[in-house]
Every structure is written in structure tokens, then in C-alpha cells.
Chain A
Amino acid sequence: MPDIAISNNIKLLRFMQNEMTQKELADRVGVTRQTIMAIEAAKYSPSLEVAFKIAAVFGKPLEDVFQYQGS
């Protein structure tokens, strides 16, 4: 169950990008694989910089990758 109000489509987007591994994404973004795991599991909200970098890796706008679920 996600713990925070920001959900994401990173897992799906990785799958669509030739099944990119978490390690590959982590290396391209400049964080550890465990941080990517935590973001995917909605256990950690990344900084704006990391969020934009992740979106840039997938070539998508930020809102296609992250969605705010709060009221």
C-alpha cells in the first residue's frame, strides 16, 4: 500500500522502454537502485530535480510519470 500521496508509473514506463532495469534507470538518474525501488513503491517522494530527471529519461512530461493523489 502506498504511504504517500504521490503515485507514479515508473514500473510501467520502464517496461515500455525495452524493460529497462531499475539499475539502468538509477545510473541514468544518478541515484541508487534502492532509491528507485523506494520511489516506485511510493515510499519516498523524490526531489523535483530527480523527478524531472526520471521524466526526462522516459521522454515524458512530469505529470505522465508522477500523479498527486491528495485532495
Chain B
Amino acid sequence: MESNKLKSFLDSLSFRDLTLSLDLAITLGILYFYLSTLFAASPDSLGDAAFISGLLIKVVFFSIALSIASALLLEFVSDKDSEKPLDERERQLSLLGSKHALWILQSGVCIAIVSYAAEAQGWADSSQQTIPFFPLHVMVVAFCLSEIANYAIQLVKSRMSASYA
């Protein structure tokens, strides 16, 4: 019974689902790496521009390397599926995912702008310790969260919902 369910589940997976799942896993991994490095860093390191820029370079490098690796892997397992354009249902799902991703990204940018302005204008309570490069971290996290939302919404909507509005 369970094997039948597993078989029907695997049968229902499209190349697009596989691509989205891999992209989702990669983005989750990168976000985990970024946040765990930040939380493990000492207060001195967090204020060091060289440390932060080094971390960002690592994040970009890992993103590119993992994207290339996943593209190669998918090329091997696909039956020329990677060359096919998205069909109408997949395009609708992609638009839906992008719409939600854009909201998250815009929210992140707004929060980053407000926090930068607060820091620059001295609006924040001076007794509270501020996190160095906070607007930058907000934007990186917002970018990762927007990508995660994009992939997750497409995956969930493609198999659970009838409405793509």
C-alpha cells in the first residue's frame, strides 16, 4: 500500500518539480550557512567589513557552484525535458511564485531602508546595541526568503490547489 503511494507520488513528479525541489534545497542550505555563520561569529567579526564581504563572496560562490552542479545533475536525469519551455500551467505557477517572492523582497528592502535611515539619523535608542551592517543582512535574508517562497509556493500549488490566483 505504502509502496503504491510512493510510486504514484514519484510518478506525479515532473521535471519542473524536481528542478524546483533542488533549487529550494540549495537556497535553504545557503540561508542556513549564512545565518549559522553570522550567529557563530564574534561581535568583533560582525563589525568587520572584511569578514562580512568574505561571507558574501562565499555565499555567491556556493550559489553559483551548487546551481551549476544541480543543472548538470538535472541534465543527466532529464529526457531532454530541460530544453522544453514551460507549459501554460507551469507559467501560471511561476507567475504566482514570483508575485509572492516580490512582496517578500520589497518588504525586505523597505525594512533595510528604514533601519538604515534610523541608524543614520540616530532615531534608534542609543542605549540599545545595534547590529553592524543590519540593513545588508536584512536584504540578503529577504532575497533568500523570497527565493524560498517562490519555489515552495510553486511546488505546493502545483499539487494541492485548483486555483492559481
Chains A and B form a bound pair: yes
Q: Does A31 contact B (CB under 8 A)?
A: yes
Query: Binding site of A, secondary structure by majority: helix, strand, loop or mixed?
Result: loop
What is the 8 Å Cβ interface bit string for chain A, positions 23-52, against chain B (1 contact, 0 not)?
Answer: 000000011111101100011101100100
Which one of B10-18, B22-30, B34-42, B105-113 is at the interface?
B10-18
Q: When A32-B14, A34-B17, A37-B12 are in contact, do A42 and B162 touch as well, CB less than 8 Å?
A: yes
Name the contact of A50 in the complex, choosing from B14, B16, B88, B164 (C-beta under 8 A): B88
- The total of chain A residues at the interface (CB under 8 A) is 16
Name the contact of B88 in the complex, choosing from A34, A42, A43, A47 (C-beta under 8 A): A47
Name the contact of B162 in the complex, choosing from A30, A37, A44, A46 (C-beta under 8 A): A44
Q: Does B7 contact A (CB under 8 A)?
A: no
- Chain B contact residues, CB within 8 Å of chain A: 12, 14-17, 84, 87-90, 158, 161-164
- Chain A contact residues, CB within 8 Å of chain B: 3-4, 30-35, 37-38, 42-44, 46-47, 50
New A-B pairs, 13, CB < 8 Å, besides A34-B12, A47-B88: A3-B161, A4-B162, A31-B88, A31-B89, A32-B16, A32-B89, A32-B90, A33-B14, A42-B162, A43-B161, A43-B162, A44-B89, A46-B89
The 10 closest A-B pairs by CB, nearest first: A3-B162, A31-B87, A34-B14, A35-B89, A43-B162, A4-B162, A32-B87, A35-B87, A32-B14, A47-B88
